[in-house]
Structure formats: C-alpha cells, structure tokens
Structure 1
Amino acid sequence: MKRYSLFAFLFLLSANLFFAQKPIYTKAKVTAVKVYRNSAELQNTVSFSIPSGISEIVIGNISEEINEKTIQIGVNSKNISILSSQFTSDYSTDFKMDTTNPQIKKVNDSIKIVENLISKNRIELDANKKAVELLDKNQTVLVGSNSSNVAQLTQLTEFYTNKRIELENKLVSLKTKGDDLSKKLSRLKSSLKTKEQKEAEEFADGVIVLKLMSPTAGNIKLNINYLTDNVSWKPYYEIKAEKISAPLDVTFKAIVKQNTGLDWKGVKLTLINGNSSRNNYAPTVSPWFIYARSPREREIQREEIASKSAAIRIRGMGSVHAEEDDVQSKELEGRAEGVVVGYAGFNVNANELNTSYDIDIPYDILSNNEDHLISLYQQKIPADYQYFTAPNYNREAYLLAKIKDFNKYNLVSAPASIIFENMYIGETRISPDQTNNEMNITLGNDPKISIRREEVQDKSGDKFLSSYREKVITYDLVIKNNKKEQISIEVKDRFPLSNNEAVKIEVLDKSGAAKDDEKGFLTWNIKLSPSETKKLRVSYKVRYPKDYTINGL
C-alpha cells in the first residue's frame, strides 16, 4: 500500500513540475543536407540544459516546408524520454504576468492614461479635418455669390488663408503628438511582456515543440532530421574534346536550388539521384487480353452505324475509319528505330536503389530559389570518334564519341554542354539508360563534310505489266570530306518495307552496304581522305497491283 502511495506522490509531483516549469527556447542548426531530386532531408543538431521532471522544449529555425510525418528525433541519453513532438507555425505560450506586482500595476496605469490621450488626440484630429473640409466648401459658395464685391472677396481670401494655415499647422501638430503617444504605448506594453512571451513571439514562425521527461537535470543534445519540400537538384555535364584522338574530359556538375526559408551555411551536402517519395507498392500483374475483329465483323459494325441515321452516315463512317486508323497507329508505335543524337572532395556511394554523391567541402546554399552550380568531379573517358549521317533525314554529318563499357563511369541521364577544340558547340544529352553495350554522345555537326542526294533519272521510272505496276527509284548519296585529315563516317539510309503481301520491294543496288531486311536499313562504314568524294548508289523496285495506291513512297 505504501508503494502505491509513493507512486501517486511522485506522479503528482511530476505533474506539478510540468505545469510550473517554463518552456525552454532554443534553435536548431542545420549541419548536413541530403538533397533528393524533388526534396531534401535536413539534419539538425540542438543543445540545451533541462531540469529534472517534464520540460517543454521549443525548437526554432525549422523550415516551414517541413513534412511533419518525417520528423525523426534522437537523444544522446538513454534516461531521457520523448513524450511527444509537434510542429506548429503559430506557437504561443500559456504563461501569464503577475498583475499584483506594484511595478506591473504602475505600468498598467500608465498604459490606460496614454490610451486615453490617444483617444482624445484622434477626436481632435478628426474635428480639425472636418473644419478644413467645411472651410473649403464655404469658400466656394461665398466666392460664387453675385453680391460679393472686391472688398468682401479680399476679406474672405485673407480669412481663408489665415484659417487654412492655422488648421493645417494644427493637424501636423496633432499627427506628431499621436505618433509619439503610439510609440510610448508600444514601449509600455513591451515592458510588460515576460521573457517567455518575447521568446514565444520570436519563435512563432515554425517550431518543433517537444515534451521531454528527465529524472535528473543535465545537458542534452538532440539530432533532428526531417524532409522538406521546395528543394531540388538536377545533374549537368560539361564535355570537352580537344581533338578526335584525345579522350573526353567530362565534368559532372549539379544545379541545386532551395526555397525552404532557411539559409544553409557551411553544411555538408549529399546529392541523391532519386526521389524521396516513390511508389512503394509492387504492381499486381493481371491477364492481358487482346481483341480482334474479322473483316466481316467490321463491315457489320459499319452497317449498324450507318442504319441508325442517314444524317450521320458520313460522320459515322468517318468515326469507324478514325478508329481503325488509331488502331493502326498504335500498332506501329515502337517500330520506328531512330538514332540518338544525342571539384570538390567527392565520393560516390551506390546501393541497390540509389546513387549518392557525398561532397566533403561545406557549402552555403541560400534560400532564394536560384540555381547554385556545384562542380562534383572530373574524369577522362576514352572514346572512339566517328562521323555519322542519315541523309534521309537531313544532310548533316555528326561527330559521335562512342564510349564502351560506359556503366563503369557512373553516368546519369542529363543534359550536357559540348566544347570541341575550345569552341562551344551546343547542348546534347547523355543517356546511359539503354541496353546497348556502347553509348554514343553527339558532339555536334561538322560543316566541313558535305552530303547531298542526287536523283538518277535515267535509272528511275514506272512500268506497267498486265495487272501490276513497277516503280524503280535510283539515287546517289554523295559525301565529300573537306577536312585536312582522314575521317571515318557511318552512313545510314533506308528502303521502304511493306506490310501487304501484294506489294513486293526489291533492292537492286546498295553499293556494298550492310542490309537489314527486317528494319529496312542500309549501312556503310567508309573512310574518306582529305578532299575525297565518294558516291553511294541506292536503287530499289516496288511492284504492286495497278489498282493499288501507295502512300509514303
């Protein structure tokens, strides 16, 4: 029984301490930041002293963009219990002043006197303003009277001038007096505020309020981590190439910007190539059904639509064709294969989900939502250089840097500026998210390599054979090297493919190109000496029923 009585006594004692002790105000310091692509984790430390019992800790310097669900608090003592934590942007204290104190009573009496003087001053100020308005109105009435003579006008003018000056001076004096009284009232009210109230006002915008229980008094250190929005970073590369026989000089940079409301001063930065919040649910795979209609079923559907209303027959038929065209366009999606034209102390850490970049040098990042450029690291990447052209698309020759085993360089998908032979060329994009063993980086087009396509008229034409028609197309691809050194260039052209068995396509001449019958590509890899010109002839024949119409040829 005595044990329970002692427990009840200790509980009541701790409850009294809880309600008696004043809040402890302190500020967190941002020491490190993990910046994700769309947010950031702010790592803070805060130190303070607490008495024994239950204490309320008000921690300021917290971002108002905080995600409250992500708050994590660690304490350096096992004997400290965290009873509750809460973020608020409108903190106020419950402690009230002692109104029985003689000094406080004297200040309160002075406040009442000053407030009374302010009220009287406002009344007098309003009265003088009304007098000025009344004077201006009567002046207009009297001056406009027909009975007014010169003497009366002179007297009125003199009266108006003197009275106007008198009233305006009075208004200036009253306004000055009112300002002085307001300042005096503000000072008196401020002198009444307790230390806790002043601290509460200072910490009103964005604080974490903790309830801690400690068996003894002592010094406490907390680690506070939380996620905040309005932060982002994006990767950027600067690629320099001095000549086509030298490796690429690749500098990896980061563009960081934040608008959390807190300036980051001397913080350790870690950039994480991933998002802090992702879909953490694995998808459920369900059966995949495809639906097909025979020509007869499509014809029946057309007849049903047409029979509903003659007025919408054309529109209805158009809708059916539009649906078929849409289906065909979806079937064709993905078939076309194009060509991708594409320092700080530093550590790279990769886990199964993300890659992080640790920067050892402390950085200052201001909360101004402006771009802050950080150079992360620089590396030399060996590359094979080759020109590339696709005359069917344009008549430009692009210099490509081909990187083998690119996965070992920790590249990420990002835009890149190109500087070739100390000249800014433009921008391209690094795209390591591919399944090929080799990654191509486009370094720009070279105007010193001329490319043109010449139609060969005497080798082209149409023929009609009974129920079929044959169309022969022949042209030359002419490539000239106007540079002073030998170049290697890949030329890629294409010939048409048919999805109809009645339409036959035959390549007649390909000038030694490697032919890809599945994709319809012709590829040449040639070397050109300085000032050398080379012609590549392409000829193909299309044979189809003469009542067919061929589109896209």
Structure 2
Amino acid sequence: MPFNSIHRAFFPFTHNSPGSSPGSCALRGRPSGRSRGRVPRTFEASLLRRSAGILAFTASSLLASTALAEDFNPQSRIGAVTVFPEGAEITRQAALEMPAGAHRIVFERLPDGIRPNDVRVEGLADGNLVIQAVDVARVPVTGDPAQTNALRKEREELGDNKELLEGRIRTAEVQRQMIMMLVRPPAVPKDVALAQPPMPPDQLFAFIAERHAEIEETIRKAQQDIRDIDRRIAEIDRELSRTSGEQEWASRITVSVNAQGDVQGKLRLRYRLRDASWQPVYDARLDTSAETAKLQLTQRALVRQHTGEDWNGVALTLATARPQGSTAAPDVQVRYVGFARPVPRERAMGGALYDDRSASAEVAAPAPEPEAVMRKEMEESRAAVTDLGFDAVYSVPGLADIPATDDSRLVLVGDHDVDSKMEARIVPAVREAAFLTVSFSHKGAAPLPPGTVRLFRDGVFVGEGHLPLANPGQKTELGFGIDERIEVTRRLVSKQRGEEGIFSRARTDTNDWRTVIANHHSVPIDVVVLESLPQTLDEKINVSPLSTNDPADESDVDGKSGVQAWRFTLDAQGERTLAFGYRIDWPQGQNVVLGMR
C-alpha cells in the first residue's frame, strides 16, 4: 500500500492547506502562532510510528503464515498387499490431522529400491486437501549414537551380572562339596569324638537334604539367568555389528500437500517392490470308492518376500498379472534365407576379424549384414517373455502374516469340488503299467494357474505332479500314479526281416505285438491304450499297419500323427488282448533309423 494511501486511510481528519506541499498534514481549523510550524513534524512522527506498526503487523502476519508450514511424520502401517508372480504392491495407511497451510508428509525408513514411478498417493479428508507433489529419495540409514551407547552400556552391565552369577555358582558348588563331607565325615580322634557328640541321624539327613535342595536350586537359577544373558548379549552384538557394518540404505517418500483449512483424513500410500513373489500349489485328493470318481482340489499359494519390512496382519491379494512383463505384442521381424557364404580365413582361425560370434550364426546369415540379423534375433529373445493370457485376482480370506525372511509361507486360497472322470491309461511300448488318469473341467470363475500339485489317492500320498493351466470349461488331466490292480503284459509275437523283389530289391522289417490287460479290481474300469505307428520322413520309406491289428477307436490323438487309441471298459476280473504291429519297407542299400520326436 503506498504511503499516502496509508496516510489517508488512517487520518481522515486532515487536509492539505493552500500553498502547502503535497503530503503535508494539518488539523482542521488554523493553528495559532508558534505551533503552526511544528504541526507537520508532529504528525509526520506520528505517521512514521503508525506506519512502522503496520509494517511490523504485516511482517508478523507473513511469519505466522510461514510458520504454519511444517513436516509431519505420521504413524503408518501396512494394511494391504497385492503380490504378483514377480513383485508386490504395498498399501500403507496413515491418519492425518493438520492445520491450514502448505505441509510435507514424510514417510521414513521405507524399504530400499522404491522407484518414483511406482508410488501412488490417495486418500480422504473432511476438508480441502490437495496433493501437490510426491518425491522419492534414497537415503542412508544412520544409527542413533544414543541408542548405540545404550546398547554398549547394557552389554557391559550384562557382562558384570554374568560374572556375579558365575561366582554364585562356584560358591554353591563349594557348599555342595561340604554337604557331601557331612555324609562321609572324616575320621577324628576318639577322645575328640567323645567330647563332641554327633548330630542324631534323622536331623543330619534332614539338614543335608534341605541344604542340598537349596544349593541345586541356586545353581539351576543362576545357569538359567546366564543363558538369558548370553542370548541378550548375542542380540546386542548383532545389532552393533549391523549398525557398524556396511552402509544400509532406505527410501524416503515426501508428500507435499496444501490444506485450505484444518483438516483430518486418511492417507493411502502405495508403492511396488520387486523382492516378493508367489506361486500356486495344489492338493488333489481323489476318492475312488464312489461310483463316480470324486476329486477335491485345494488351491494354495506359496508366498515369499524379503522386501525389508514384515507384513503383519495384512489383507493379502494374489494376482496373476505381471506388471514387469511385456504389455505390447512384439514386432514381427523380416527373416531372410540364402546360401551359406564361406567364412573368412581370419575369422575361422580366430584372427583379428573374429568378433566372438559362433561360426554357425555367421554361416546362416544371408545377404543383409550378419551383425544386424544377430541383433534382431536377440531382441526377439528378450520379447519372448509372455503373460499367461489372463488376469485373475485371489483374495486370501482373513489376515496374513508374511515375514521378510524369504521363507515360504503357505496360505489357503480356496477349495474346488469338481466332477471328474477316471480311466486307466496304458502306453505299453514305453512301460507295462496302467496309470490312473483323472480328467475334469474347471467350473470356477477364474482360471487355475499352472503349478505343482500333491496327489492323494484314497487318502494316501502317491507323489507330486504338475497341474497345467486350467481355464473355465477346459478339459484338464491329472495322473495319479500306477494302478497296481491292473496288470499289463506286452510281448513281441513276431519279428521278421528280409528282402523282397526280383529286379528292385527292397528290405522289410515286420513287428507284431500282443498286449494283455487284466483288471483285478472288483469293479469295472475304463481303459485307454495308446500305440504309435511310425511316420516316414522320406517317400522311399513305406510304413503300413498289419492286417491283424485291432481297429483303433481314434487316430492322431491330440494332433500327434500316427498315435492311435483303443478305448473300452474292462469288467471286474476281466481281461483283454490287443494286437498291434507294422511293416517297414525301404530300398536296399539304405539304413533306416527308428526314432521319436
């Protein structure tokens, strides 16, 4: 405010007299005589005093408004955690109460490794509270000198107490030896014994028993106190070594806010950390006593974390999404094919032109620069990390405690009772055994992610397997081990090798098997037998099934060429024999190799 304005505002009773200079002041009415010349100076002095008061008031107001800005360190606790297959999102909650003004809310000693882009702040307040900025800093963790001195003093006192207890034990052991001397008193001269009559035996034994019990209790109590002291000393030594060892780091998050008035509210701080993970595990319990197989699937999660802070009493959520994975489809790269070029001698001999690439990669590179092609292939490899194709969230019931020790903690997700079908699956060419296989369709709202499954058959643990990804409505199979009550025998009844033809000689190889399946159960059981008819890789090789083969019920099972299946129900105590064989023809002078893919 200009000086004249202040003057006019606070002195309405003044005016400028004719001929006076601007800014001079006079009372209404004309002052007399001598006092006329001093009037302006008097009012000027008063005006200066009043102006100084106004300036002082303005400055104090500015200082007061500045003093309202302060740092708040609210008490916060972890309320909820969402764990991903790689990483976790932690939600901290804090209560706020602050006056009007600009303030900073500081969260100290958070785990190291929090990135600024992984922090989100939100909340509710009963007034106008605006979040202006969020800053993340990596700060060293310094020990408290007062706490360190207190620990050292405590350790010294514990050492003194331990010495006192050890001395008490030594004294008690001497007393115990003296008591034992009363049981076997030393020989004394006869005249001395007559002068000092001995204590009656009953009193002597009672005295010895009482004193011996007191001594033993003293020793036991002292030893127990020493063990407690040793444990506490070990804790202090670990704490001192931690504070005096390698520099530790922590994250500090500062939230700048502006409150239009006194506000109360709750703040939620979310941040992501990498040092956490979860993987699904299952228990599959099969009951074969019922007419239809009953399968109960218990879903659990194996959670571990070493973020630097314990998760105690948190609402735990498990998510199948991978925030750190690829979110966009990879680019399709142009591929080339060409004739191999000779490798330069310098590269082949490891000369100056050799750049640590393999010879096979260099030969396979066509006309474009080999270095560019190699770089594209490496990019494709990095982009090959894909998600499971779905996002599911599992809320763990109740509150969970997950310590930051990197130890696995098993939490229950839920149970699933599924309708299943049971059959004995036999692959006689690989193993003469029947494997109990259960197929089911998952009817839950969310898919079941793949994971390790522990298998129980009629309450007996039979081993571990792997549960593939089970989408809702999709058929899924689990193997429950060998069924010992189904006997499988496979034998080669005919094997012939020879040559045929007059003008064009050809070689032949004929194999004919019989597989016998016997059901020793007291109930019928469904059986599926799988055999593989070899597939040719050259048109000069011919493979044909034998005419004696039993007709297969299904060919090219699961899209595998040549795989045939026989499905039937085997009665209780029943038996069936399957015939399977094939003949291979190829030109003479060639060698045939039979393999698997």
Secondary structure of the equivalent of 2:74?
Answer: strand
Q: In 1, Cα distance between the equivalents of 2:295 and 2:468?
A: 16
Secondary structure of the equivalent of 1:69?
Answer: helix
Note if 1:510 corresponds to 2:549. yes
Note if 1:429 corresponds to 2:462. no
Name which structure has the greater RCO, CA cutoff 8 Å, separation 6+. 1
Counterpart of 1:461 (choices 497, 511, 528) is 497
Q: CA deviation at 1:223?
A: 1.5
> Between Structure 1 and Structure 2, whose CA radius of gyration is higher?
2
Counterpart of 1:487 (choices 516, 525, 535) is 525
Greater Cα offset, 363-372 or 61-70: 61-70
Counterpart of 1:50 (choices 98, 103, 128) is 98
Counterpart of 1:440 (choices 454, 473, 477) is 477
Residue 507 of structure 1 aligns with an amino acid whose one-letter code is: P
Q: CA deviation at 1:493?
A: 0.6
Q: In 2, Cα distance between the equivalents of 1:18 and 1:230?
A: 41
Q: In 2, Cα distance between the equivalents of 1:398 and 1:365?
A: 39
- Name the residue aligned to 2:409: 372
8 A Cα contact 2:447 2:471, kept in partner: no
- Name the residue aligned to 1:221: 266
- Name the residue aligned to 2:327: 280
8 A Cα contact 1:406 1:438, kept in partner: no
Change (3 A) 1:80 1:469: same
Q: CA deviation at 1:384?
A: 0.8
Change (3 A) 1:404 1:212: closer
- Name the residue aligned to 1:382: 419
Q: In 2, Cα distance between the equivalents of 1:208 and 1:255?
A: 30
Change (3 A) 1:70 1:18: farther
Counterpart of 1:497 (choices 526, 535, 540) is 535
Q: In 2, Cα distance between the equivalents of 1:234 and 1:15?
A: 57
Counterpart of 2:296 (choices 237, 249, 271) is 249
Note if 1:450 corresponds to 2:487. yes
Q: In 2, Cα distance between the equivalents of 1:390 and 1:238?
A: 26
Structure 1 unaligned residues grouped into runs of 5+: 94-202, 312-318, 325-351
Q: Percent identity?
A: 19
Note if 1:85 corresponds to 2:155. no
Q: In 2, Cα distance between the equivalents of 1:92 and 1:547?
A: 79
Counterpart of 1:64 (choices 89, 101, 112) is 112
Greater Cα offset, 482-491 or 423-432: 482-491
Change (3 A) 1:264 1:10: farther
Residue 487 of structure 1 aligns with an amino acid whose one-letter code is: I
Note if 1:270 corresponds to 2:317. yes
Measured against aligned partners, the alpha-carbon deviations of 1:139-176 in whole angstroms (never above 9, x if no partner) come to xxxxxxxxxxxxxxxxxxxxxxxxxxxxxxxxxxxxxx
- Name the residue aligned to 1:470: 508
8 A Cα contact 1:258 1:370, kept in partner: yes
Secondary structure of the equivalent of 2:117?
Answer: helix
Note if 1:208 corresponds to 2:253. yes
Measured against aligned partners, the alpha-carbon deviations of 1:369-419 in whole angstroms (never above 9, x if no partner) come to 111111121121000111101122222211111114657673221211111
TM-score w.r.t. length of structure 1: 0.63
8 A Cα contact 1:386 1:487, kept in partner: yes
Q: In 1, Cα distance between the equivalents of 2:417 and 2:401?
A: 29
Q: In 2, Cα distance between the equivalents of 1:472 and 1:535?
A: 20
Measured against aligned partners, the alpha-carbon deviations of 1:65-120 in whole angstroms (never above 9, x if no partner) come to 43332111124346333343223343799xxxxxxxxxxxxxxxxxxxxxxxxxxx
- Name the residue aligned to 1:359: 396
Tell me how many residue pairs correspond in the alignment: 392
Q: CA deviation at 1:433?
A: 5.5
Equivalent positions of 1:15-34 (< 5 A) are 18=66, 23-34=71-82
- Name the residue aligned to 1:146: none
Counterpart of 1:524 (choices 548, 566, 578) is 566
Residue 410 of structure 1 aligns with an amino acid whose one-letter code is: P
Q: In 2, Cα distance between the equivalents of 1:452 and 1:250?
A: 33
Residue 500 of structure 1 aligns with an amino acid whose one-letter code is: D
Q: In 2, Cα distance between the equivalents of 1:436 and 1:542?
A: 42
Q: In 2, Cα distance between the equivalents of 1:463 and 1:52?
A: 103
Q: CA deviation at 1:252?
A: 0.9
Change (3 A) 1:288 1:48: same
Q: In 2, Cα distance between the equivalents of 1:71 and 1:11?
A: 39
8 A Cα contact 1:274 1:354, kept in partner: yes
Note if 1:533 corresponds to 2:582. no
Residue 384 of structure 1 aligns with an amino acid whose one-letter code is: K
TM-score w.r.t. length of structure 2: 0.58
Q: In 2, Cα distance between the equivalents of 1:204 and 1:415?
A: 37
Q: In 2, Cα distance between the equivalents of 1:23 and 1:91?
A: 20
Change (3 A) 1:266 1:14: farther
- Name the residue aligned to 1:417: 454
- Name the residue aligned to 2:585: 543
Change (3 A) 1:83 1:216: same
Q: CA deviation at 1:426?
A: 0.7
Note if 1:231 corresponds to 2:273. no
Change (3 A) 1:85 1:19: farther
Q: In 2, Cα distance between the equivalents of 1:236 and 1:11?
A: 68
Residue 131 of structure 2 aligns with an amino acid whose one-letter code is: I
Q: CA deviation at 1:434?
A: 7.9
Change (3 A) 1:503 1:534: same
Q: CA deviation at 1:546?
A: 0.7
Q: In 2, Cα distance between the equivalents of 1:11 and 1:445?
A: 90
8 A Cα contact 2:133 2:256, kept in partner: yes
- Name the residue aligned to 1:74: 122
Q: In 2, Cα distance between the equivalents of 1:384 and 1:411?
A: 19
Change (3 A) 1:24 1:284: same
8 A Cα contact 1:400 1:441, kept in partner: yes
Change (3 A) 1:14 1:357: farther
Q: In 2, Cα distance between the equivalents of 1:376 and 1:494?
A: 41
Change (3 A) 1:204 1:448: closer
Q: In 1, Cα distance between the equivalents of 2:567 and 2:102?
A: 80
- Name the residue aligned to 1:135: none
Change (3 A) 1:539 1:205: closer
Q: In 2, Cα distance between the equivalents of 1:550 and 1:515?
A: 28
Q: CA deviation at 1:494?
A: 0.9
Q: In 2, Cα distance between the equivalents of 1:89 and 1:24?
A: 19
Q: In 1, Cα distance between the equivalents of 2:59 and 2:531?
A: 87
Residue 523 of structure 1 aligns with an amino acid whose one-letter code is: A
8 A Cα contact 1:61 1:262, kept in partner: no
